[in-house]
C-alpha cells in the first residue's frame, strides 16, 4: 500500500507565526511572568488601547474568545430571550451559538453567491416577513474569509427597521471597505483571536469594539460578573476575560497585522495569476467586492469535484480544508429548528457543497504557493 506523502504545504500553520517572531513573543511572555499580574492588568488595557484606533473607534474590550465576544455584544445591546437576530447559515457555528447563548432566536438568511456574505435583499425580506410580535432586533453580518459584507446596504436596511448591527469580524481583522476598517460600520463589532486568525493569539481570545462609551462600559462589566465595583455585581455577568499572557502576545502580532495581511494578499495574487487557466476546469476563484480590501483569512475556491480534488492535493502533499462543510441549519444540533428567510438558503447549501480552502498563512513562501498551483494544474 502506498503511504500518503508528507504534507509539504499545510493549509494553515499558526506555529509559523510564533517561529517567525519568537524573540519578541518570548520577551512579551517573560514580561508578563515577571510582572506577577496575570488577569485584567496592563497588557489587556494596552491591547484594548492599541486595537481600537486601528479599527477607527474609541473603545475596545478584551474577552475570552470570539463566541463570547458576540454573545456579550448582544447582551450589551439588550438582546435576549424573545428577541430575533438575523445572520447567515454559511458561517462558523459560533455565530449562531452566540445568539442562542443569550436566549435569542436566530433567523438565517441566504448569502450573495460571489462573496459568501449576507445578501442585503434577503435580509430585508426576512425582516418584513417576521410577525409583528417577534421582530428582528439585531443583525450579525459575517465578514467571511476576509471578505467584507455589503455593509452600506445592510446598515441601510437595519436603520429603516430600527435594528442593531453587530459585525462579526472574526475572519477580517484589518480589512477595509470604502476606506474604512471593518468593525467601524455597526453599533458594535466582535472578533475572535483564535491562533489561525489574521490577528491570532497562542490560545483563545476575543475582543469587542464600539464607538459608544455606554456599550463599552456595559461590556467591561459583563465580562467580569457584572462588576463595576469589585465583588459587587450590578447585574448578572460572566467570567470572560482576555488574560494578560495572550494580550501581550497579541500586542506583538498587532504590530504585524497590516504586514501580514499584505503578505496574504500577495499569496492570493500568486494563486489568481497561476490558476487563471484552471477556470475552465471547473474551478471558481475568489471574487473581490468592489471598494473592499479582501485580507484572505482563507483563499476559498469552488470546485464541483471537491472530494476528488482534495484527495488529489492530499496525494501531492498539499493541505486543504473546508470552511464549512455543512451550513448551520443542516447540522444535527440545529437541523429543522431554525427560522430561515422566505427565499430559503439554496445558495448557502450550494456553497457548502463546493468550497475548498487552499493553503493560506503569512509565512508561506512564493515557492509553496507555486507548488499548490502546480498541483492544481496537474490534476
User: pLDDT by residue (tens digit) across 327-348?
Assistant: 999 999 999 899 899 989 999 9
Dihedral sign for Cα atoms in the order 287, 358, 325, 145: negative
Alpha-carbon torsion, ordered 171, 272, 291, 191, to 10 deg: 10
- Does residue 137 sit in helix, strand or coil? strand
Looking at residue 281, its pLDDT comes to 82
Looking at residue 321, its pLDDT comes to 98
Looking at residue 253, its pLDDT comes to 98
Judged against a pLDDT cut of 90, whether residue 209 lies above it is answered with: yes
Q: What is the pLDDT of residues 225-260, one digit of tens each?
A: 999 999 999 999 999 999 999 999 999 999 999 999
Distance in angstroms (rounded) separating the CA atoms of residues 270 and 175: 19
Looking at residue 6, its pLDDT comes to 63
Looking at residue 1, its pLDDT comes to 41
Q: Which residue has the cell 475582543?
A: 207
Judged against a pLDDT cut of 70, whether residue 2 lies above it is answered with: no
Domains of the chain: 17-109+117-254 (3.40.640.10), 257-377 (3.90.1150.10)
Looking at residue 282, its pLDDT comes to 86
Confidence of residue 147 (pLDDT cuts 50, 70, 90): very high
Q: Which residue has the cell 464600539?
A: 210
Q: What is the pLDDT of residues 260-314, one digit of tens each?
A: 999 999 999 999 999 998 877 889 999 999 999 999 999 999 999 999 999 999 9
- Does residue 168 sit in helix, strand or coil? strand
The residues that bridge with 86 in the sheet, in sequence order, are 107, 139
Query: What's the residue count for the chain?
Result: 379
Residue 211 has φ and ψ, to the nearest 5°, of -90, -10
Distance in angstroms (rounded) separating the CA atoms of residues 88 and 107: 8
Distance in angstroms (rounded) separating the CA atoms of residues 108 and 119: 11
Confidence of residue 120 (pLDDT cuts 50, 70, 90): very high
Judged against a pLDDT cut of 50, whether residue 200 lies above it is answered with: yes
Amino acid at each position: 500500500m502506498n503511504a500518503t506523502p508528507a504534507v509539504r504545504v499545510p493549509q494553515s500553520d499558526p506555529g509559523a507565526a510564533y517561529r517567525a517572531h519568537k524573540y519578541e513573543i518570548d520577551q512579551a511572555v517573560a514580561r508578563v511572568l515577571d510582572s506577577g499580574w496575570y488577569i485584567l492588568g496592563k497588557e489587556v488595557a494596552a491591547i484594548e488601547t492599541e486595537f481600537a484606533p486601528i479599527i477607527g473607534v474609541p473603545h475596545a474590550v478584551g474577552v475570552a474568545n470570539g463566541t463570547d465576544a458576540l454573545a456579550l455584544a448582544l447582551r450589551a445591546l439588550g438582546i435576549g430571550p424573545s428577541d430575533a437576530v438575523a445572520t447567515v447559515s454559511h458561517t462558523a457555528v459560533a455565530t449562531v451559538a452566540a445568539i442562542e447563548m443569550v436566549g435569542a432566536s436566530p433567523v438565517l438568511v441566504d448569502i450573495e453567491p460571489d462573496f459568501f456574505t449576507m445578501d442585503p435583499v434577503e435580509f430585508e425580506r426576512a425582516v418584513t416577513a417576521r410577525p409583528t410580535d417577534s421582530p428582528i432586533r439585531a443583525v450579525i453580518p459575517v465578514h467571511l474569509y476576509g471578505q467584507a459584507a455589503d455593509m452600506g446596504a445592510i446598515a441601510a436596511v437595519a436603520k429603516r427597521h430600527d435594528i442593531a448591527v453587530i459585525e462579526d469580524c472574526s475572519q477580517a481583522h484589518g480589512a477595509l471597505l470604502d476606506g474604512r476598517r471593518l468593525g467601524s460600520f455597526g453599533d458594535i463589532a466582535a472578533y475572535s483571536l483564535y491562533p489561525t486568525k489574521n490577528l491570532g493569539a497562542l490560545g483563545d481570545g476575543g475582543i469587542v469594539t464600539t464607538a459608544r462609551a455606554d456599550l463599552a462600559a456595559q461590556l467591561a462589566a459583563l465580562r467580569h460578573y457584572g462588576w463595576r465595583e469589585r465583588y459587587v455585581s450590578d447585574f448578572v455577568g460572566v467570567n470572560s476575560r482576555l488574560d494578560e499572557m495572550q494580550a501581550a502576545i497579541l500586542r506583538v502580532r498587532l504590530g504585524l497585522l497590516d504586514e501580514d495581511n499584505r503578505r496574504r494578499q500577495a499569496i492570493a495574487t500568486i494563486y489568481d495569476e497561476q490558476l487563471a487557466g484552471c477556470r475552465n476546469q471547473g474551478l471558481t476563484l475568489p471574487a473581490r467586492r468592489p471598494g473592499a480590501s479582501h485580507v484572505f483569512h482563507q483563499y476559498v475556491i469552488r470546485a464541483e469535484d471537491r472530494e476528488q480534488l482534495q484527495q488529489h492535493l492530499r496525494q501531492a502533499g498539499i493541505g486543504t480544508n473546508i470552511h464549512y462543510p455543512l451550513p448551520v441549519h443542516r447540522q444535527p444540533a440545529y437541523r429543522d429548528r431554525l427560522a430561515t428567510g422566505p427565499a430559503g438558503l439554496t445558495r448557502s447549501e450550494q456553497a457548502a457543497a463546493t468550497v475548498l480552502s487552499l493553503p493560506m498563512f503569512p509565512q508561506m513562501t512564493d515557492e509553496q504557493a507555486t507548488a499548490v498551483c502546480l498541483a492544481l494544474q496537474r490534476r
